[in-house]
Amino acid sequence: MQTQQLRYFLEVAKTKNITIAARNLYISQPSLSQQIINLEKELEIPLLIRHSKSVALTDAGEQFALHAMRIINSMEQLSELMQRHNLLEEGTLRIGMLFIGGYVNLFQILKDYRLHYPGMDYRLTIDGSAALLNQLLNRSIHASFLIGSENQLKAHEELYYQKVMDDYYVAAISTQNPLSRRELLTIEDLRGESIIMPAPSSAFRRRLDQLFARAGFEPRILCETSQTDLVSQLTQQNFGIGFFSCTIARALQSRDLAVVPLEQTLYRTIYYATLKELLDYPSIRSFTEFVKDYPLSHL
């Protein structure tokens, strides 16, 4: 049974005349008659009572017409729904977002995109880079912003990625600490200071550990956290020295919190990543192109 046969039968049921129905359908009368006969053979029951100049529906034909109409209407609604998905008027976009997204204006990208496509349903998963990458690879989110390196992302052949922004780390120090008046800080300057270290799972933590190891001493660790607000509060209260990216530090700098560059520049890159297999899907393709063309001056 084909959709076209349902439409043909419904036209016959409406006009009660095969000749008129054929003319309305722009097909020949013999062809339409054969289509109805084939349908009846397939169903193994007569749908029409044929008269010399008209037709009537059998009881089965009336039931068939009723359900055929429902099927056609449902298919048209389904086609319209898929078209709305294609036009980005419907659908769900699942985006992974970093904890620091607000500080580095990543939320602004999503806000500006939503202005173009307000009918979409937006779902955010907020987490650290490692967790977001795993969720992306596990197909539980469609795309993500994350901190990483090109070598790390290149190792996953199924990923498409592009750089969003570069940044570098600075030390966050209470203005009560004399080190806050330095123009630059070395790792040796941190000897004996209480240090608020990033979480062990962070890429920056591993780089810091390497710097302390090269300097020949272990830092005096106050706590381990990558929660920006907590690091900010602890440093302002002079509990220890923490680390932020320069972008975040500028947003948090206050009379109680000084920002001092590190002599050893440690860069951080934020990437946007999605799966190559999703790039043909309208919403992912559209959002990916939007991120690619987004002006860096807005970040």
Q: What is the mean pLDDT of the chain?
A: 93
Q: Which structural domains are found in the chain, ordered by start?
A: 3-82 (1.10.10.10), 92-151+276-298 (3.40.190.10), 166-268 (3.40.190.290)
Q: Residue 75's pLDDT band (boundaries 50, 70, 90)?
A: very high
For residue 165, the model assigns a pLDDT of: 92
What would the mean pLDDT of 72-91 be, rounded to a whole number?
A: 92
CB 28 within 8 A of CB 22: yes
What would the mean pLDDT of 248-254 be, rounded to a whole number?
A: 86
* Residue 299 pLDDT exceeds 80: no
Q: What is the DSSP letter of 129?
A: H
- Three-class SS of 11-29: HHHHHCCHHHHHHHHCCCH
Q: Residue 201's pLDDT band (boundaries 50, 70, 90)?
A: confident
Helix then strand then coil, in percent of the chain rounded to 5, is 50, 25, 30
More confident call, 207 vs 143: 143
* Residue 203 pLDDT exceeds 90: no
Q: Residue 103's pLDDT band (boundaries 50, 70, 90)?
A: confident
**Strand, helix or coil for residue 108:** helix
Q: Residue 28's pLDDT band (boundaries 50, 70, 90)?
A: very high
* Residue 298 pLDDT exceeds 80: no
pTM greater than 0.95: no
CA atoms of 204 and 164, how far apart (whole Å): 18
Q: Residue 169's pLDDT band (boundaries 50, 70, 90)?
A: very high
Q: Are strands 220-224 and 92-98 parallel, antiparallel or unpaired?
A: unpaired
Q: Are strands 220-224 and 194-197 parallel, antiparallel or unpaired?
A: parallel
Mind listing the pLDDT tens digit for each residue in 35-70? 999 999 999 999 999 988 899 999 999 999 999 999
